[in-house]
Amino acid sequence: MKNVSIPIGPQHPALKEPASFSLALKGEKIMGSTVRLGYNHRGIEKGCEDRSYIQALYLIERICGICSHAHSTCFVMAVEEIAGTEVPKRAQYIRTLIAELERVHSHLLWLGVAGHEVGFDTLLMYTWNDREIVMDILAMLTGNRVNYGINTLGGVRRDIADAEIKEILSAIDKLEEKTKYYIQIATKESTLIKRLAGVGILSREDALKLGAVGPTARASGVDRDVRRDDPYLAYGDLDFKVITDNHCDIYGRTLVRMGELMETYSMIRQLISKLPAGPIVAKMPRKIPAGEAIARYEAPRGEDVHYVKANGTEKPERVKVRAPTLANIQTVAKMLEDRYLADMPIVVAAIDPCFSCTDRMIETRAVGSDNASTFSWGELRKYSIEWYKNKGIDFEVLNAKRGKR
């Protein structure tokens, strides 16, 4: 039988973000694969060179909608190192707290996506429902569900009140219970185990050779975690285990992420009990003295690396970002080798890829017009309701039918 080459992507229902795969198939077996990325390249590194540090911080936050705090914290740590700014302890703790809450939402999101990709949509509904608990906490603490904007140069922009701490703790208790239930499902539900075990195999040797990071690497027995190995923020003060697993497959990756959630809950409790008093921001100069720094950050998907070079002006000379997916995507071809086509969505999903992020600026242009106009939230809502009405969909009628206002 001859090999058949099929393109998948860049836009495809199996993947929620653009990436293009070309698979060589023999029957249903994948004989080889190549991946094409870059559909979401927005020139953010170049963009930073044209912006002041504080503007660049907000742009950097928008690299990704899932792990936005990872990017903004990594960037701001590098800038603060160059400026020699001592960030107040309380700010470090708040940053760490948001970082761990972000990990909770990201891992729960992943579990739901993984469930969806293997046809277990009940799991998607359950996990994403529970994820709302942590999303509400993030919204309460920062004002935003995503792209929190909590970081500023020299510290954080919002303090935490005692009443909020109570809410965090009760949310964590709830989430811990739910996570225990998911661990039970993951380790006992035979249909799920059969679908995940032995799929997407990445040996320890390959994980090391191909530079895998995060849960993808740790599920192949690679004991690496920047939070422990290269401590930053408040991680040096915390007591936690780095979760690893030797299954080397998607089942292992599931166990690692679930185990990490349990560790994260304990870390959040430690952070709250040790939360120091004091200021939340230190003064930073507008002009950052010439110098360079590289920061590493254990994002939910793995090690995030930001390199910043300053030239003494208000704008950075060079900003370089290496997001964890860029490291992990190189392992996908290995995982797909000799597997079945039907495994492809879950294998790709198992590295928890994050090819792009959200773009929040709403600027509209009528076709053929140069006039840009900006909508307020209320106007945009009104516009979209009108737009659907013209298409024959009236939300008022629909809501009335559903017994709502």
Judged by beta carbon, residue 157 or residue 322, the one nearer other proteins is 322
Euclidean distance between CA atoms 291 and 285, whole angstroms = 14
In the list 19, 33, 45, 245, the residue contacting other proteins (rule: CB under 8 A) is 45
In the list 7, 16, 27, 36, the residue contacting other proteins (rule: CB under 8 A) is 36
In the list 160, 226, 268, 288, the residue contacting other proteins (rule: CB under 8 A) is 226
* Residues of span 292-331 touching other proteins by CB under 8 A: 292-294, 296, 303, 305, 307, 309, 318, 320, 322, 326-327, 329-330
Judged by beta carbon, residue 43 or residue 378, the one nearer other proteins is 43
CB of residue 41 to other proteins, shortest distance in Å? 4
Judged by beta carbon, residue 18 or residue 279, the one nearer other proteins is 18
Q: At what angle do helices 89-117 and 121-142 cross, to 10 degrees?
A: 160
CB of residue 403 to other proteins, shortest distance in Å? 49
Euclidean distance between CA atoms 241 and 111, whole angstroms = 21
Q: Which residues contact 360 (CB under 8 A, 6 or more apart)?
A: 62, 147
Cβ(218)–Cβ(229) under 8 Å?
Answer: no
Token code pair at residue 353? 């890829």
In the list 7, 26, 28, 41, the residue contacting other proteins (rule: CB under 8 A) is 41
Judged by beta carbon, residue 117 or residue 245, the one nearer other proteins is 245
Cβ(20)–Cβ(327) under 8 Å?
Answer: no
> 400: how many CB neighbours lie within 10 A of its CB?
11
The yes or no reply on residue 50 touching other proteins (CB under 8 A) is yes
Judged by beta carbon, residue 267 or residue 327, the one nearer other proteins is 327
Site mask, other proteins, residues 10-29, x = CB under 8 A? --------------------
Q: Which stretch binds other proteins (CB under 8 A): 180-188, 221-229, 364-372, 379-387?
A: 221-229
- Residue 324 CA, chain-centre distance (Å), reads 9
# residues contacting other proteins (CB under 8 A): 36
The yes or no reply on residue 46 touching other proteins (CB under 8 A) is yes
In the list 74, 97, 98, 210, the residue contacting other proteins (rule: CB under 8 A) is 210
Length of the chain measured in residues: 405
Judged by beta carbon, residue 81 or residue 159, the one nearer other proteins is 81
Judged by beta carbon, residue 164 or residue 206, the one nearer other proteins is 206
The yes or no reply on residue 229 touching other proteins (CB under 8 A) is yes
SS (H, E, C) the chain: CCCEEEEECCCECCECCCCEEEEEEECCEEEEEEEECCCCCCCHHHHHHCCCHHHHHHHHHCCCCCCHHHHHHHHHHHHHHHHCCCCCHHHHHHHHHHHHHHHHHHHHHHHHHHHHHCCCHHHHHHHHHHHHHHHHHHHHHHCCCCCCCCEECCEECCCCCHHHHHHHHHHHHHHHHHHHHHHHHHHHCHHHHHHHCCCCCCCHHHHHHCCCCHHHHHCCCCCCCHHHHCCCCCHHHCCCCCCCCCCCCHHHHHHHHHHHHHHHHHHHHHHHHHCCCCCCECCCCCCCCCEEEEEEEEECCEEEEEEEEECCCCCEEEEEEECHHHHHHHHHHHHHCCCEHHHHHHHHHHCCCCCCCCCCCCEEECCCCCCEEECCHHHHHHHHHHHHHHCCCCHHHHHHHCCCC
In the list 107, 224, 301, 339, the residue contacting other proteins (rule: CB under 8 A) is 224
Judged by beta carbon, residue 130 or residue 298, the one nearer other proteins is 298
CB of residue 50 to other proteins, shortest distance in Å? 7
CB of residue 230 to other proteins, shortest distance in Å? 4
Judged by beta carbon, residue 118 or residue 310, the one nearer other proteins is 310
Judged by beta carbon, residue 115 or residue 214, the one nearer other proteins is 214
Q: Which stretch binds other proteins (CB under 8 A): 1-9, 116-124, 286-294, 368-376?
A: 286-294
CB of residue 269 to other proteins, shortest distance in Å? 25
The yes or no reply on residue 81 touching other proteins (CB under 8 A) is yes
The binding site for other proteins (CB under 8 A) comprises 34-38, 41, 43, 45-47, 50, 81, 208-211, 224, 226, 229-231, 292-294, 296, 303, 305, 307, 309, 318, 320, 322, 326-327, 329-330
